[in-house]
Chains A and B, each alone.
Chain A
Amino acid sequence: MLPSAAICEGFGTVMNNRLGQMTLFQDTGGDPRGAASQFADVLTAYGAIGDAACGNPPGLARRKASTAVSLARVAECEPHECDAMYFAGLLHAVGAVGNPAYRKDERLSERLARMESWDTPSMGAQICEHIPALPAQTADIVRWQAECWDGTGYPDQLRWHGIPRPAMLLALADTVVRAADPEEALTAVAMQSGRAFSPDMTRTFTMWFHVSGGEAETAEPPLEALRDVSAASTLALMDAIADRIDKHNGDEGRWRRVERLATASAALLNVDATENERLALAVRLYGAGEIAKSQQSEASFDPLARLGIDDRAAHAVLAAKLVEENPTLGRAAAVLRARSEWYDGTGKPDGLFHRAIPAAAGLLAAAIAYDALGHKDRIDTAAGTQFDPQTVRAVLEAARTRA
């Protein structure tokens, strides 16, 4: 049992930690470009989560953004349109996060699921409209990215010149990144001339194909196009992403409950600032690992049983993969990956043992399990096997004090 003085002191630190999260994205030495860069990294992660939600291959959003910009240059779009297209490409699938077609708790017929999936672009547009830092046109490009020239697209069934050019260019970029090779993309676009794409756009594509060889170089985010970015707006975006992930996974408010508990427990254990930051990021992102419809929901198995260990490890690995190359969020990757390890070394995916498991990962795992348990104190039975006994004591103390 931890002494009560430690608990009180711990809660003082909890408040500091909560406030301290505001510094998560502030280490830019006052450089506004640094803040924009961190914001862009979070947007990149959001794009990757959107792709995971609708089953797209990893990295598709970034490739689509780069291809869209490359196409836009050949089509002689204005610079502000190119900027908007980059972010629209990055966020093309964020509407899938929370969309009933991809949510776990929905049981829809194939026909209804298809119709719900048609709303992915408009839901994505609504999300973009709530991110004021994005260039003005971004939301509309996302909204109309799946419209077809002949009026058979979705969500709005716009037709002909009613579809803005940047949206159609983004649709072309989508065809490129989904094709197995550039030749296949060329054939697909030619087949769809006058149907999905206007003949003008097809010609633009052909020109781009000959100029670029059908492949676009990776484009860097146009940071100067992001407006009024600050550490607070980046943190607010992270929170919004986490809220949306929980909604998608059918457990609204989960990350906030887990965060309160994990942060309070971390304070009781005097976890250092760096580890606290990693914990703060990981707590917002771990739900992304179970976002794909093919993944079992963690609510569907006992958090203390070995039975679900493979699924939990798969979620941990997937969440870590989504951010491991992200310059701003990558520091949470090790925590995300290790949160399904067991203290006794029998966990997965890497079989880490005792202190090899990052403290933040142990705290996160215990807080998730505690939150998911019907009889909360049952977590005690996993001390020494699944969780570090000290962590379990901290979690129980933190929970008791909060109650």
Chain B
Amino acid sequence: MIELPERTRRISPSRLHEILVRHNCASLVDPFMGLPTHLNYLKRHGIACHGGDLLEWFVRVGEGIVVNDLTILRDSEVAEIVEMLPGRIYSLDMFKAWEGVFFSEEQCVYLGVWHDNVRNLRSDGQTGLAILGLWRAFCYWLQKTQNADDMQDVPPSELAWSYIRQTEQWVIANMRRNTVRQTDVLTTVAAQKADALFLCPPARNSFRSADARIWMWEAWWQGNPYFTIEHAYRDSLFGARAADPPSYARAFASVLEHAEAYPVLVVQTTEQRLGDVESLVRNARRKVEILAPHSYEMYLVATN
């Protein structure tokens, strides 16, 4: 049975927004954005958001809910995503490798159909929205493998339909330019000027315990069930080169060094890692304020 981790990192955008408002920040860069629902929240509250990540599907979702100001999916367009279309040739075996392991035969067929349909969508915004909606359906299935008796059987197309519809509700314009890019952290930090830089770096060696719901969806997007995300991290700043504590600290310090131009720096960490992170941030900035609503959700707000 697949393992779904107990603790996932929590970014509370409403709390982050309160911090940004307190420091009069109207724009933010997040080079470790992950699933950018928090950037969508900030965008909705008027903050110009710029995110970066190494995984393509995160970036695609960012195009749907962060960059996209207007594009939504009409009923007819959702229908073209969730079901097999007559006249189109589908690679129905694309995800057969997952059959019997994670998913049923029917679910694997749908994963193939959805993959092909999403690839045929007309705009980046629509593609991003569809990827996020379908990912939620995919997570529902994975969860159901663990709790078969506790969760409803919902027909795949109905499940996908409801999630895509729900995702589409989050599209909004903030009259600002918002961007996402697929690149390593330093490139994102250097590429954009903003009032604040938000850092929520992965823990050391965390890619080795990456959540299946994350890497499997990248594999889905790439159309290759054997795809792993290790290559994406291998040569990245926080990848294999930062496997030991001193290297990790050096990698983090180099990000802080590149972030000098940002007036406000917000670093999210946990009580467990606070000791390491705090000293590095204090080396880089004169004023550091610590906000600690929980032991697993702490913010270091650093200014000059």
Judge whether A194 and B41 touch: CB under 8 Å.
no
Give the Cβ gap from A187 to chain B, nearest Cβ, in Å.
Answer: 11
Task: Name the A residues within 8 Å of B9 (CB-CB).
Answer: 162
Judge whether A159 and B8 touch: CB under 8 Å.
yes
A157–B12 CA distance with the chains assembled, in angstroms: 8
A125–B5 CA distance with the chains assembled, in angstroms: 28
Taking A150-B140, A194-B143, A199-B143 as contacts, is the C-beta distance between A157 and B8 under 8 angstroms?
A: no
Judge whether A158 and B12 touch: CB under 8 Å.
yes
Give the Cβ gap from B68 to chain A, nearest Cβ, in Å.
Answer: 15
Judge whether B169 and A114 touch: CB under 8 Å.
yes
A110–B20 CA distance with the chains assembled, in angstroms: 28
Please tell me the number of chain B residues within 8 Å of chain A, measured between CB atoms: 36
Question: Of B6, B37, B151, which contacts A157 at CB under 8 A?
Answer: B37
Check: A178 CB closer than 8 A to any chain B CB: no
Interface string of A135-162 (1 = CB under 8 A from B): 0000010010000001110011111111
Give the Cβ gap from B134 to chain A, nearest Cβ, in Å.
Answer: 13
Judge whether A203 and B150 touch: CB under 8 Å.
yes
Judge whether A152 and B150 touch: CB under 8 Å.
no
Task: Name the A residues within 8 Å of B150 (CB-CB).
Answer: 193-194, 199, 202-203
Judge whether B139 and A122 touch: CB under 8 Å.
no
A152–B140 CA distance with the chains assembled, in angstroms: 12
A119–B294 CA distance with the chains assembled, in angstroms: 21
Check: B96 CB closer than 8 A to any chain A CB: no
Check: B272 CB closer than 8 A to any chain A CB: no
A302–B136 CA distance with the chains assembled, in angstroms: 53
Task: Name the B residues within 8 Å of A158 (CB-CB).
Answer: 10, 12
Task: Name the B residues within 8 Å of A157 (CB-CB).
Answer: 13, 37-38, 40-41
Judge whether A143 and B14 touch: CB under 8 Å.
yes
Task: Name the A residues within 8 Å of B10 (CB-CB).
Answer: 158, 162
Judge whether A161 and B13 touch: CB under 8 Å.
no
Judge whether B293 and A194 touch: CB under 8 Å.
no
Judge whether A152 and B136 touch: CB under 8 Å.
yes
The residue of chain A having its C-beta at the shortest distance from the C-beta of B139 within the complex is A150
Question: Of B8, B13, B144, B172, which contacts A194 at CB under 8 A?
Answer: B144
Give the Cβ gap from B54 to chain A, nearest Cβ, in Å.
Answer: 20
Question: Of B11, B140, B293, which contacts A195 at CB under 8 A?
Answer: B140
Task: Name the A residues within 8 Å of B7 (CB-CB).
Answer: 161-162
Interface string of B148-186 (1 = CB under 8 A from A): 001110000000000100110100100000000000000
Check: A126 CB closer than 8 A to any chain B CB: yes
Check: A190 CB closer than 8 A to any chain B CB: yes
Check: B193 CB closer than 8 A to any chain A CB: no
A150–B136 CA distance with the chains assembled, in angstroms: 7
Check: B75 CB closer than 8 A to any chain A CB: no
Interface of A is mostly: helix
Give the Cβ gap from A40 to chain B, nearest Cβ, in Å.
Answer: 24
Check: B209 CB closer than 8 A to any chain A CB: no
Give the Cβ gap from B168 to chain A, nearest Cβ, in Å.
Answer: 11
Check: A191 CB closer than 8 A to any chain B CB: yes
Task: Name the A residues within 8 Å of B5 (CB-CB).
Answer: 161
Check: A115 CB closer than 8 A to any chain B CB: yes
Give the Cβ gap from A216 to chain B, nearest Cβ, in Å.
Answer: 23
Give the Cβ gap from B63 to chain A, nearest Cβ, in Å.
Answer: 17
The residue of chain B having its C-beta at the shortest distance from the C-beta of A139 within the complex is B293
A162–B166 CA distance with the chains assembled, in angstroms: 20
Task: Name the B residues within 8 Å of A199 (CB-CB).
Answer: 143, 146-147, 150-151
| CB-CB contacts below 8 Å: B106-160 with A | 136, 139-140, 143-144, 146-147, 150-152
Max chain B Cβ within 10 angstroms of own Cβ: one of A156, A190, A199:
A156
Interface string of A196-209 (1 = CB under 8 A from B): 00010011000000
The residue of chain A having its C-beta at the shortest distance from the C-beta of B159 within the complex is A195
Give the Cβ gap from A371 to chain B, nearest Cβ, in Å.
Answer: 32
Judge whether A126 and B18 touch: CB under 8 Å.
yes
Q: List 17 A-B contacts (CB under 8 A).
A: A114-B169, A119-B14, A143-B12, A150-B140, A151-B37, A151-B139, A152-B166, A157-B41, A158-B10, A158-B12, A160-B8, A190-B152, A194-B140, A194-B144, A194-B152, A195-B140, A202-B150
Chain A residues at the B interface, C-beta cutoff of 8 Å: 111, 114-115, 119, 122, 125-126, 140, 143, 150-152, 155-162, 190-191, 193-195, 199, 202-203
A-B interface, 3 closest residue pairs, ranked by CB to CB distance from nearest:
A199-B147, A122-B14, A157-B37
Known A114-B169, A126-B18, A156-B38; 11 more pairs at CB < 8 Å: A122-B14, A152-B136, A155-B13, A155-B14, A160-B8, A162-B7, A162-B8, A193-B150, A194-B150, A195-B140, A199-B143
